[in-house]
Amino acid sequence: MLEIRDLHAAVDGTPILKGITLTVNAGEVHAVMGPNGSGKSTLAQVLAGHPAYEITSGEILYKGENLVEMEAEERAQQGVFLAFQYPVEIPGVSNAYFLRAAYNAKLKAAGKEEVDPMEFLDLVEEKLKLVDMDPAMLHRSVNAGFSGGEKKRNEILQMAVLDPTLAILDETDSGLDIDALRIVAGGVNALKRPDNAAIVVTHYQRLLNYIVPDQVHVLAGGRIVKSGGKELALELEARGYDWLLEAVA
Amino acid sequence: MSTTLSAPALLEQANHAAAADVPAVLRAARAEGAEQFAALGLPTTKNEDWHYTSVSSLAAIPFAPMTGDDSDLSPDALAEHRLDASWPTLVFVNGVYQPSLSDTSALPAGIRVLPLGDAVSALGDTVSRLLGSTAPASRDGFTALNASFLGEGAVVHVAKEMVIDTPVHLLYVTTDAGANGMHHPRVLMLAERHAKATVVESWVGLTEQPYFTNAVAEVVVEDGATLTHLKVQREGRGAFHVATIEATQGRDSHYVSFCFTTGGALSRSTISTLLNGAGCGTTLNGLTMLDGAQHGDVQTRIEHAQPQCFSREIYKSILDEHSHGVFNGKVYVHPIAQQTDGKQTNNTLLLSKTAQVDAKPQLEIFADDVKCTHGATVGQIDQTALFYMKSRGVDADTARQLLTYAFAADVLETIENETVRDALELVTLHRFTSLATVTG
């Protein structure tokens, strides 16, 4: 589904990613871990198409197509979804309207009929239950005045509505208490299917108790320095990152 | 009788008009207005308050007083601007009150709404009390000019303890028949003790031709009263619009103003209130949306003259193409006005590199126990929010339009009257976006 080959990316001329190679197959969950500044979030943003990052070499193939050439909105319409580390507040645009605009954009790109507000409300009410969200939140402005936990739940709600093929969760666990973490992880697990995949970017192993990865990759200095099974995450939790960094230095 | 706005020609005009059948109270005010205009003239950019707005283009055009010709007024176009046909409404077409298009029969006893001409006899006490009280002819050239042509306008009188939820609508429409004309309406509003009412003033231009609106409103809000005053400026693209609103407030009163500006080639709105009783407050909010070569200037002045008063102010502007926005928010706190609580916010969204804004908060505080804050921002569309929306599949154009609308929406939400709020939200949506709706 996703093939990243020797990917180099820079921001304002400063190289951040220095040769990432990663393959994610349908039905898999991959965890990307690493210390602060290792390039984890950059990788997530690059996959979503953030314009601040320049791909200097390498390629990204998504369902066999060149992802780098697609605009962010096109990637989303094709099933790529990024759950933001810091979800953006948009005062003045209601959550319900925003969700429907996103949902309809995807339908339209697939050549399907758009849904009207009533139909959409039925659909979204189902998804609200998944993340244990109050329907009243739909009528508030997108993320405006939401608590940290509410923002993250709102990200998963968007993910549930858009039903992505490739979901990238960028430190969705940071700042969450254990109850919120359970709800968020439960939402992600419920959306898992054999025909989709997820990349879970996290600093801590804690989230991986709830979202069990098929593979764990450790990023440091813009490269993957180690890959392994879920037990690698436990080892990182026990020993920290330093031993790995020393080993590759 | 066309002439540029030079003093000698004007005096001649005013004298000529005074000879006609004009009530004595207006005649006296006209004479004083003409005299003051001769002394003051039109402001130049050397005047600090007019530094960013030049009226030389206005002064160069020979405007003739409008005649009220309504032969080209389309009933459909008028209907669209009534907002709600059931509201008590006075309609002015090309500068002149039109009884056949107006209807105030739904007004309950205790609130009187009359065209100025009728009010001189029917509400003589109110007229003599208010006329020239908060906006004397000596105030500036435009107020003097307005006084020298006194005749059209309205009086709104809300008796004490009278509470009316239905707004009163004063609707001024200019059509092609008003091209190269000028009008100088004067509105007097009095909300007596503990009264509560809403007045909407709409300025609509159904012509691209130049014309000149020079309006003055004098507003008195007595103790405990709440007056909401919504100004909707949708003049034609060739129009010059100068409006001066001067309010004075009693103890525990609340004056709520919204200034919506989107029309005119050149517009200037001055909204000023004197917080003249302990515990009173004012809310002055507004939204300006300009494009092309439009120039829109909003001046506010809040004078805290008594203790424990509050003021809240949110002004937003969206400027596209070569437009020029000006905002000057003056807050003056007298030494006696302790425990003043003032907050001013001014945000501008620039949609093009060639749009320009001059924004100036001006706080003059002479009391020591006050809480006054102000914040001003000038920016472009938030790139982070834009990417966020795109990452959800929303195309860049739609995302930009949504963010532009959202910028405006949060100040429009402060309008309490739902009909006005919905109408202005729709105008805003259509101004800079091709979106049909943003609800649901």
Residue of chain A whose Cα is closest to the Cα of B381: A90
Which residue(s) pair with B226 in the sheet?
Answer: B196, B254
Average pLDDT over residues A166-179: 89
Please give the Cα distance from A69 to A50 (Å, whole number).
Answer: 12
Residue of chain B whose Cα is closest to the Cα of A88: B385
CA angle A125, A118, B411 (to 5 degrees): 90
User: What is the ipTM for the molecules in this complex?
Assistant: 0.95
Query: Which parts of chain B have pLDDT scores under 50?
Result: 1-2
Determine whether the interchain pair B395/A73 forms a contact, defined as Cβ–Cβ distance below 8 Å: yes
Give the up-direction half-sphere exposure of residue B428: CA atoms within 13 A in the CB hemisphere.
30
Determine whether the interchain pair B393/A162 forms a contact, defined as Cβ–Cβ distance below 8 Å: yes
Task: Find the CB nearest B439 among A81, A88, A97.
Answer: A97
Residue of chain A whose Cα is closest to the Cα of B383: A51
Position A179 confidence tier, pLDDT thresholds 50, 70, 90: confident
Q: Where are the domains of chain B?
A: 7-277, 382-440
**Dmax (CA) of chain B:** 71
Residue of chain B whose Cα is closest to the Cα of A45: B391
B60 min Cα distance to partner chain A (Å)? 42
Give the up-direction half-sphere exposure of residue B437: CA atoms within 13 A in the CB hemisphere.
8
Interface test with B, best of A11, A41, A74, A98 (most B CBs within 10 A): A98
B172 touches B184 (CB < 8 A): no
What is residue A176's predicted lDDT score, i.e. its pLDDT? 86
pLDDT in tens, B25-84: 999 999 999 999 999 999 999 998 999 999 999 988 889 999 999 999 999 999 999 999
Interface test with A, best of B287, B389, B391, B439 (most A CBs within 10 A): B391
What is residue A203's predicted lDDT score, i.e. its pLDDT? 86
Tell whether A84 lies on the interface with B, counting CB pairs under 8 A.
yes
Residues of A in contact with B398 (CB under 8 A): 101, 105
pLDDT in tens, A33-85: 988 889 999 999 999 999 999 999 999 999 999 999 999 999 999 999 999 99
Residues of A in contact with B432 (CB under 8 A): none
What is residue B1's predicted lDDT score, i.e. its pLDDT? 42
Tell whether A162 lies on the interface with B, counting CB pairs under 8 A.
yes
Task: Find the CB nearest A72 among B387, B408, B439.
Answer: B387
B160 touches B126 (CB < 8 A): no
Position A177 confidence tier, pLDDT thresholds 50, 70, 90: confident
Side by side, the strands of the sheet bearing A2-11 are A14-24, A2-11, A53-62, A65-66
Chain B residues touching chain A at CB-CB below 8 Å: 382-385, 387-396, 398-399, 402-403, 405-410, 413, 438-440
B230 min Cα distance to partner chain A (Å)? 21
**Is a pLDDT exceeding 50 seen at residue A195?**
yes
Determine whether the interchain pair A73/B393 forms a contact, defined as Cβ–Cβ distance below 8 Å: yes
Mean pLDDT of chain A: 92
Superfamily of domain A2-248: P-loop containing nucleotide triphosphate hydrolases (3.40.50.300)
Q: Where are the domains of chain A?
A: 2-248
Among residues B362, B363, B369, the alpha carbon closest in space to that of B337 is found at: B369
DSSP summary character for residue B3: B
Q: Go through chain A and tell me how many residues it has.
A: 249
Task: For A72, list phi and psi in degrees, rounded to 5.
Answer: -55, -45
Residues of A in contact with B390 (CB under 8 A): 49, 71-73, 76
CA angle B397, B399, B402 (to 5 degrees): 110
Q: Is B56 exposed, middle or buried (0-12, 13-18, 19+ CB in 10 A)?
A: exposed
Determine whether the interchain pair B407/A82 forms a contact, defined as Cβ–Cβ distance below 8 Å: no
Determine whether the interchain pair A76/B392 forms a contact, defined as Cβ–Cβ distance below 8 Å: yes
pLDDT in tens, B350-398: 999 999 999 999 999 999 999 999 999 999 999 999 999 999 999 999 9
Tell whether A109 lies on the interface with B, counting CB pairs under 8 A.
yes
Please give the Cα distance from B312 to B256 (Å, whole number).
Answer: 9
Task: For B4, list phi and psi in degrees, rounded to 5.
Answer: -70, 170
A181 touches A173 (CB < 8 A): yes
Give the number of A-B residue pairs with CB atoms closer than 8 Å.
91
Determine whether the interchain pair A101/B402 forms a contact, defined as Cβ–Cβ distance below 8 Å: yes
**Dmax (CA) of chain A:** 58
Task: Find the CB nearest B440 among A72, A96, A102.
Answer: A96
Q: Which own/partner pairs from A186-192 qualify as long-range (CB within 8 Å, at least 24 positions apart)?
A: A186/A130, A186/A210, A187/A130, A187/A131, A187/A153, A187/A156, A187/A157, A187/A159, A187/A160, A188/A156, A188/A159, A190/A130, A190/A160, A191/A130, A191/A159, A191/A160, A191/A163, A191/A167, A192/A29
Interface test with B, best of A47, A82, A90 (most B CBs within 10 A): A90
Task: For B357, list phi and psi in degrees, rounded to 5.
Answer: -135, 140
Task: Find the CB nearest A102 among B393, B413, B440.
Answer: B393
Residue of chain A whose Cα is closest to the Cα of B385: A88
Residues of A in contact with B393 (CB under 8 A): 73, 76-77, 102, 105-106, 109, 162
B278 touches B305 (CB < 8 A): no
What is residue B2's predicted lDDT score, i.e. its pLDDT? 47
Position A248 confidence tier, pLDDT thresholds 50, 70, 90: low
Residues of B in contact with A90 (CB under 8 A): 385, 388-389, 402-403, 406
Residues of A in contact with B399 (CB under 8 A): 73
Residue of chain A whose Cα is closest to the Cα of B388: A88
Average pLDDT over residues A216-222: 93
